Amino acid sequence: MNSMLSKNQIKLIKSLEQKKGRVQNALFIVEGIKGVSEFLKSNYKLRHVYTTQLIFNVPIDLVSEISEAELKKISALKNPNTALAIFEIPEEKTSEEEGLIVALDAIRDPGNLGTIIRLCDWYGIKTLVCGNNTVDCYNTKVVQATMGSLTRVNVQYLDLEAYLDSKKTEVFGTFLAGENIYHTDLPTNGVIVLGNEANGISEAIATKVNRKLTIPQFGEIKATESLNVANATAIVLSEFKRRTIIEK
């Protein structure tokens, strides 16, 4: 089979693995049948899909059938799965002012950001605000880890200090010492701040938090220093949301 991929196409795809390339082109990569299908169902605009099987319902000029070897060449994955698509990065929507908002202070690990977006989707959090020091949500590994949830959560990058200053709702954050999250009243509105993997919430951001929460530790030996930030997010969202449903 002759290559259907031009040098320029490969060059473009490779450039999108870096943030610089994504910003310059306003494009990002989605890989795999499930991911590509989820983005095709969403409002995201497809630029092109490269696939080893013509299984997607897209205009004929926006799809190229390629070989497994070609897919392997353009994929960032060890085991590429059928398709790699390029979508346009949309303009950021301004934040919802209602309900719970999750805010991230310097999350660096793409897998953590991806699963946090998936958690927001699960728990009906519409807006995720990220300090500018948080990993790019259009990073290929982040997109992969969201399992399509990125199409349903509005992610915004901004100056987190200024944003929190502007908020009139309560600002919550998780710390090693604070109110026991299991036994405190939690509202249906507010901002929940989660901090960096190694250092937690930075000092500058901590001064903006007016409700410090803690997830208590169990067991005889209390030697663990912290939870993984995505797991902490899971527990915190679970606590905020379980109180909003009425027991049958």
| Minimal distance, residue 182 CB to a copy of itself, in Å | 4
- Applying CB under 8 A, the span of 15-23, 70-78, 80-88, 217-225 interacting with a copy of itself comes to 217-225
* Using rule CB under 8 A, residue 166 touches a copy of itself: no
Q: How far is CA 81 from the centre of its chain?
A: 21
List 52, 75, 95, 115, residue binding a copy of itself (CB under 8 A): 115
Give kind and range of the element (H or E) at residue 172. Answer: strand 171-180
**Residues 28-57 interacting with a copy of itself (rule: CB under 8 A):** 38
For residue 123, state whether it binds a copy of itself (rule: CB under 8 A). yes
147 CB-contact burial (10 Å; exposed 0-12 / middle 13-18 / buried 19+): middle
- Residue 87 token pair: 């979508």
Distance CA 151, CA 60 (A): 23
Joined tokens for residue 205: 């951001």
If binding is defined by CB under 8 A, does position 59 make contact with a copy of itself? no
Q: Report which secondary-structure segment, H or E, holds 140.
A: helix 140-146
The burial class, CB within 10 Å (0-12 / 13-18 / 19+), for 67 is middle
Asked if 216 interacts with a copy of itself (CB under 8 A), we say yes
Q: Does 185 bind a copy of itself (CB under 8 A)?
A: no
Site for a copy of itself contains 235 (CB under 8 A) = yes
**Residue 148 within binding range of a copy of itself, rule CB under 8 A:** yes
125 touches a copy of itself (CB under 8 A): yes
| Residue 89 within binding range of a copy of itself, rule CB under 8 A | no
Query: According to the binding rule CB under 8 A, does residue 124 interact with a copy of itself?
Result: yes
